[in-house]
A = this chain, B = another copy of it.
Amino acid sequence: MNSARITLVTLGVADVARSVAFYAALGWKKSSDSVERTAFMIGEGVVLALWNRDDMIADGGEGELASGSGSMALAVNFDGPEAVDAFYGRAVEAGADPVKPPSKVFWGGYSGNFRDLDGHLWEVAHNPFWRLDEAGRVDLAEAS
């Protein structure tokens, strides 16, 4: 088993039910492994955990956590600009803050940024230089 993995991304959220509805609108399915204060959302590959932020702070042992996602962002890549626009539109319709609507960007792709209901930053992108496999995973070459 490769240890270089991310199995789960946890978002601290103010209202778990509200965030479940938001991510369900974007295609995630709620797992039956969910509990009252933490919903585990099933997507491709990585589990998205929506955790009550107060509990996340209490568990961490550091006394506080800043809101939002600091200098961290999640991204979903698509195989064309139309799919980027569609996903971005669904997010905004579900209540996301449209930080930067999709447009052509300097590196040759097409991307936009939004923040979810708790300020977590997402990028929605099409990179014409990258290949996505059937499951939608980015297929990158290892450096020699």
Contacts and interface: CB of A to CB of B under 8 A. Distances in A.
Contacts of A66: 66, 68, 70-71
A123 to B, nearest CB: 7
Nearest to A74: B6
Oligomer copy total: 2
Interface residues of A, number: 79
Given A66-B71, A72-B70, A44 B5 contact: yes
A121 to B, nearest CB: 7
A131 to B, nearest CB: 10
A109 to B, nearest CB: 12
Interface of A: 1-13, 23, 26-34, 40-49, 53, 56-57, 59-62, 65-79, 83, 87, 99-100, 105, 113, 118-121, 123, 129-130, 132, 134-138, 140-144
Contacts of A68: 66, 70-72
A130 B77 CA distance: 28
A4 B32 contact: no
